[in-house]
Structure 1
Amino acid sequence: MAETGQTQNHSFSTDAAKVLKLMIHSLYSNKEIFLRELVSNAADASDKLRFKALSDDSLFEGDGNLRVRVSADKENNTLTISDNGIGMTHDQVIEHLGTIAKSGTAEFFSQLSGDQAADSQLIGQFGVGFYSAFIVADKVTVRSRAAGVLASEGVEWVSAGEGEFTTSTIEKSNRGTDIILHLKEEETEFADDWRLKSIVTKYSDHISVSVEMLTPEVPAVEAVEEQKDADGNITQPAVEAKEAVPAKWEPVNKATALWTREKADVSDDEYKEFYKHVSHDFADPLLWEHNKVEGKTEYTSLLYIPTKAPFDMYNREKQHGLKLYVQRVFIMDDAEQFMPTYLRFVKGLLDSNDLPLNVSREILQDNKVTQAIRKGCTKRVLKMLERLGKKDAEQYQVFWNEFGQVLKEGPAEDFGNKEQIGKLLRFASTNEDSAIQNVSLDQYVERMKEGQEKIYYVVADSFEAAKNSPHLEVFRKKGIEVLLMSDRIDEWLISHLTEFDGKQLQSVTRGGLDLGQMDDEETKEAQEKLEQEFDSVVTRIKASLEGKVKEVKLSQRLTDSPACIVTDENDMSSQMMKLMQSVGQEVPESLPIFEINAEHELVKHIADEQDDDQFNQWTQVLFEQAMLAERGSLKDPASFVTRLNKLMLSLTK
């Protein structure tokens, strides 16, 4: 640590410098939010001190009245936000104010377009907190001292927001943090008490920490006797003597924890602002639910579904979860024990009466109360989403586009709620013309054809590959709907969601296709006749492909394509193999089943080929193009090209 008074120069991290530059310009149209962010951070600092003081009340240093103070100095055009919360050490100041400690930064920058209006939404989604001060200030000074350390270990941080900052060690008698904004010349409105009070009331009325502002001093008034003129008219009314009233700090917000109030007494705007406080998101939430649970386990939950996904949502290792309060005392951020990983996008808080004030993450892990609350909150969120899906398909589509792939992790993680999660899933389908995933399993079941017993689906690398898969040909011919899946997680999802509403989910790329009652007797008889006619051809093809295929047979699923490969019911699918390989897992070797379309002219040509070498060449090409269509690649593409060229040249002779 530097000696008292000694100044050290530092550079912002590259990411922090970029955000500063973009934010100052892109968020300018909504500049008053800086005060919301700074007050919210100050309130968090107070919450954290209250929690730490549970085990060491000396941290209060004789002052347990936690508050945030906002004061303006018109003469010097400055604004100060002070708290007496947990405070920061020298190292913490450098860590928290010099770096944006948030994963997904690179993706964030890749999505910036240069359009200030659009970028404003992205920056708000990314979250900027403290850095929003530079929207209205051309210099920011932070003075802080951590609770429980010596007054001589205070630290001062100063920056003009242009890539550099300085730190120095100072004497600071009181704990907590003071943020002094040296306002830009054109931002004098934020040195006006009435303007500041209106912003605090608008954005911070709901937080549980008192936000105080200084009322003006009222000077003393001397008594004056009533005076009259000669006609008896009063020329000077009597004035009662009044003592001077000194300036004093008074709260300007309700300072009542919003979640403790009755739902009927909380407006939608208050719920929205509280969401921004707990999530540090700039956008309004998509929906929320506020519940007080009484009975064997008592707790209050306030759960929000965001409108936009955070940039680091797909990082399963990132801390996620709800804010935890016990008897209205803040305990921890990101209490992941109360929400399963597949619902990691849910924001909000829990306040329990049944947990001890000194509860830790370790105690929460196997606590029966925790398990009961987790179960209740999980079902609450699933019900919220189910109601949204039934009530407002358009809004549900907004949710699904942002969080659908994360929700697909659910059946593997939460067996008990698998059917409920299944109702929330959406897919593309052969009934639709676009890649939009808007078909529910309930809708699919309602549209099933008479005699259809299974829910059919195909998984491919892309929507186009799924939509154009040769395996769909017989289903199109018979008008049977097939779900088209192309998300990376889909194969993993289906391996755990094997049935829905009592109906088995069946891949159209699996062997042994059985359309049950939808196959008429005439079709079955025609198939049996073809199998007899092509028995020798099938045997010949199998010999040609020995060691490459498990079986060769006539296809019931092809109408336009000459051939396809399918996976045996007991083998790993092509998509699952790719998924396992992508994460470095070894994949067991399995041979595909090769199906040929006896009605196709190319297959008939091969069947009539008497020259064994030519027959083998045609068979190999037919097999390799089927492998290419199904798996997207070949082990030896050069040989395939050579063989194909040779056959094309033979046709020109």
Structure 2
Amino acid sequence: MSATKQTHGFQAEVSRLLHLMIHSLYSNREIFLRELISNASDACDKLRFEALDTPALMEEDPEPAIRLTLDKSAGTLTLADNGIGMSEAEIIDHLGTIARSGTEKFLASLSGDQKKDAQLIGQFGVGFYSAFIVADKVTVESRRAGLAASEGVRWESDGQGEFSVESIERAERGTAVILHLRKDAKEFLDDGKIRQVVGQYSDHVAFPISLAVAGDDKAPETINSATALWQRARQEISDEEYENFYKHISHDFEAPLNWSHNKVEGKLEYTSLLFTPPRAPFDLYHREASRGLKLYVQRVFIMDDAEQFLPQYLRFIKGVIDAPNLPLNVSRELLQDYGPVKKIRTALTKRVLQMLKKLSKDEEKYSRFWAQFGQVLKEGIGEDPDNRDAVAALLRFASSEQGDSLTSLDDYLARRKDGQGKIYYLLGDNAAAARQSPHLEVFRKKGIEVLLLSDPVDEWMISYLDRYQEVPLVNAARGELDLDGEDKPDDAEQDNALIKRLQESLTGQVEAVRATRRLVDSPVCLVLAEDQLGPQMRRMLEAAGQPVPEMLPVLEVNLDHPLLKALDSQEPGADFSELAGLLLDQAMLAEGQLPRDPAAAARRMHHLLSRAVTPNA
């Protein structure tokens, strides 16, 4: 431990963040108090958890609590807790750096819009620094539970790029944050204002929050309900209380899209409170990132990110589970193989899917949800076969017939033509490109709707979803098409001399050339064989460093197209081979793929253009 005061420089990202706090974010200044109270609540939770194994950490003060003190003459607001506290090394680490992989993304996300920027603060784990919105100097005094009184530590900064740390004598365990308020923030020295903010944002905190005024003879007064909200009866809790509790546990600044509060009694007893967030976290697609529900056992906080209670594809759900029958010393390893946890996971998964089904009745809210979490939800088709139908009912797709609107599989089935026994879909790099695909031509001609799948996960997802409501899903660009028995060319067409010439010219470049009736306006298209990987899956495997088998496409040609009729009259030779190669290049480009040999494709195009503009050359 240092014997004298030491001065340290902030991590570069922290300095940038402090500049933002001090100079920009004034529209939501009240958030600082909610964030500091949340931190204090977490410290109290962690103390109770560590004290399960080491009861001596409670020292002589067994009841964790949070204390607010106003000192109008000194111009300070102090927020203190008797939670776990920090050692000198911890205080330097926690308050001098932002130990989050998303720091750079957070800073890059800042727009200059005060309201939007404020909403990012807690979400990226930087809530402590919101203190500098209202304070021109912040002093933190702390001692970790279990350390001697002489091992207290004081941290201090004016937010200008440096902070000091020195050892102090501190009898109490826990942490006190002393805010030296700016002149324009003196409203937070008013006890009425503090009561209003705590009542609005932090009434649900499970530890008592007391308020005292320096120089006032009145005893400190508890100003929150100090009960675990999830343990209260649903009919006693207002929507505003639910929304504020969600903001407390998620550090979000927006209300959740919906929630489910449920208590299960009997042999397997537990209470759950689950929320659907309005926005995706920055690390949603980092599957190794910490996530999960807050776990309590007998109202004792156990862990923040108990991921064992929900499958990975529901990793965006926030909430709390209190399971009094679990052992108090439960660990992540024990949870993984603990029988009751698997039963709770099964029940909670179904409950979340019911929440989302209910949310889907509100088109506006569900559209927002889908934009944020749709790709993640699609993972459930492959990962959760027991709930595949329920997940499939929640999926939304672009469609060849619905403009910019998305459709569900149920709505697609309700609109399908009489006698249509299949659900047709088409994979593409994006919905706009898929709409231009030549594969849709015959479907438009016959008035048959096709779902357009363009997310990177779609080809993988659809490989697990072969039917819905007993109706098979069929790729419009795979295999031989048979819409009504009239779409398959006869043997004479397949035995056409032009097809044989094209097959010979494109040997080694295509698996086969065959006549088609799936085209109306286009001369050619590529078709996947039934056992071939599509472009999306190939790219996913290549990005993962996996070997991808070499497979040649099938080229289908529209023998009624003027271009093919003109080509049929072309004499054999180099020009015919060039034109055959150009047709294949065109078909690949229409699928959003590069030709196998882009340089050769460019030469063919240059040759054709030269002949067109200088026919006698």
Q: Same fold (TM over 0.5)?
A: yes
8 Å contact kept, 1:68–1:84: yes
Shift of 1:88: 0.9
Select which of 542, 557, 565 maps to 2:518: 557
Find the aligned partners of 2:447 and 2:169 in 1 and give their Cα distance.
Answer: 80
Shift of 1:635: 3.3
Q: Which amino acid aligns with 1:135?
A: I
Cα offset for 1:104? 2.9
| Preserved CA contact (<8 Å) 1:211 1:252 | yes
- Please name the residue that 1:238 is paired with: none
**Distance in 2 separating the partners of 1:34 and 1:63:** 27
SS at match of 1:599: coil
**In 2 relative to 1, CA 485–100 (structure 1 residues): closer, same or farther, beyond 3 Å?**
same
After the TM superposition, which residues 180-259 of structure 1 pair with which residues of structure 2 at under 5 Å, given as runs? 180-214=178-212, 247-259=218-230
Instruction: Report 1:211-610 matches (<5 A).
Output: 211-214=209-212, 247-390=218-361, 392-434=362-404, 438-515=406-483, 518-520=484-486, 527-528=489-490, 531=493, 535-610=496-571
Task: Say which SS state the counterpart of residue 424 (structure 2) adopts.
Answer: strand
**How far does the alpha carbon of each residue in 1:41-83 deviate from its partner, in whole angstroms, 9 at most, with x for none?**
1011011100110111000112111110000110010010011
Query: What does residue 174 of structure 1 align with?
Result: 172
Counterparts of 1:217 and 1:118, CA distance in 2: 39
Q: How does 1:125-144 map to 2 (within 5 A)?
A: 125-126=123-124, 128-144=126-142
Instruction: State how far apart, in whole Å, the 2-side matches of 1:499 and 1:11 are.
Output: 60
**Could you report, residue by residue, the CA deviation over 1:579-624 in whole angstroms, capped at 9, with x for unpaired residues?**
2112222111111111111111111111111232221111111112
2:286 partner letter: N
One of 27, 36, 39 as aligned partner of 1:38? 36
Q: Shift of the alpha carbon at 1:360? A: 0.5
Unaligned runs of 5+ in 2: none
Name the stretch that deviates more: 121-130 or 577-586: 121-130
* Matches for 1:12-27 after TM superposition, within 5 Å: 12-27=10-25
Contact preservation (8 Å) 1:552, 1:593: yes
Deviations 1:272-312 (A, max 9, x none): 11111111111111111110012331100000111111111
TM-score (norm 2): 0.96
Q: Distance in 2 between matches of 1:110 and 1:216?
A: 42
Structure 1 residues 121 and 214: alpha-carbon distance in aligned structure 2, compared to 1, 3 A threshold: closer
SS at match of 2:295: strand
Q: Distance in 2 between matches of 1:190 and 1:315?
A: 39
> Retained in 2: the 8 A contact 1:143–1:157?
yes
With 28-37 and 137-146 compared, the bigger mean Cα shift is at: 28-37
Structure-1 residue corresponding to 2:610 = 649
User: TM-score, with normalisation over the residues of structure 1?
Assistant: 0.91
Tell me how far apart the structure 2 counterparts of residues 412 and 74 of structure 1 sit (CA, whole Å): 60
Asked whether the equivalents of residues 86 and 147 of structure 1 are also in contact (C-alpha less than 8 Å), the reply is yes
SS in 2 for 1:248: coil
Aligned to 1:240: none
Task: Work out the CA distance in 1 between the residues paired with 2:348 and 2:11.
Answer: 39
* Gaps in structure 1 of 5+ consecutive residues: 219-245
Matched residues, number: 614
Deviation at 1:441, TM superposition (A): 0.8
Which residue does the alignment assign to 1:153?
151
Looking at CA atoms only, which structure, 1 or 2, has the larger radius of gyration?
Answer: 1
Q: What secondary structure does 1:432 align onto? A: coil
The superposition leaves residues 551-591 of structure 1 with CA deviations (integer Å, 9 ceiling, x where unpaired) of: 11012211111111111101111221112112222111111
1:455 is matched by which residue type in structure 2? I
Partner Cα distance (1:412, 1:183) in 2: 54
Amino acid at match of 2:332: R
Partner residue of 1:630 out of 577, 591, 596: 591
Contact 2:203–2:226, Cα closer than 8 Å, also in 1: yes
CA distance in 2, matches of 1:116, 1:207: 27
Q: What does residue 72 of structure 2 align with?
A: 74
Question: Would you say the 8 A contact 1:286–1:307 is kept in 2?
Answer: yes
Q: 1:614 is paired with a residue of what secondary structure?
A: helix
CA deviation vs aligned residue, 1:237-291 (integer Å, no higher than 9, x gap): xxxxxxxxx5433322111111111011111111111111111111111111110
Give secondary structure in 1 for the equivalent of 2:419: coil
Please give the alpha-carbon distance, in whole angstroms, between the structure 2 residues aligned to 1:389 and 1:32: 33
Query: Aligned partners of 1:124 and 1:478: how far apart in 2?
Result: 53
Contact 1:290–1:301 (Cα < 8 Å) also in 2: yes
**Aligned AA (1:424):** L
User: Percent of pairs identical after alignment?
Assistant: 53
2:61 paired residue number: 63
Alignment partners' CA distance in 1, 2:455 and 2:17: 31
Distance (whole Å) between structure 2 residues aligned to residue 353 and residue 113 of structure 1? 45
Paired position in structure 2 for 1:90: 88
* Deviations 1:421-459, CA, capped at 9 Å, x for gaps: 00111111111222x5x2111111111112212111111
* Pair 1:69–1:122, CA change in 2 (3 A): closer
Say if 1:12 and 1:98, in contact at 8 Å, map to a contact too: yes
Q: Is the 8 A contact 2:71 2:213 kept in 1?
A: no
CA contact (8 A) 1:105 1:311 kept: no
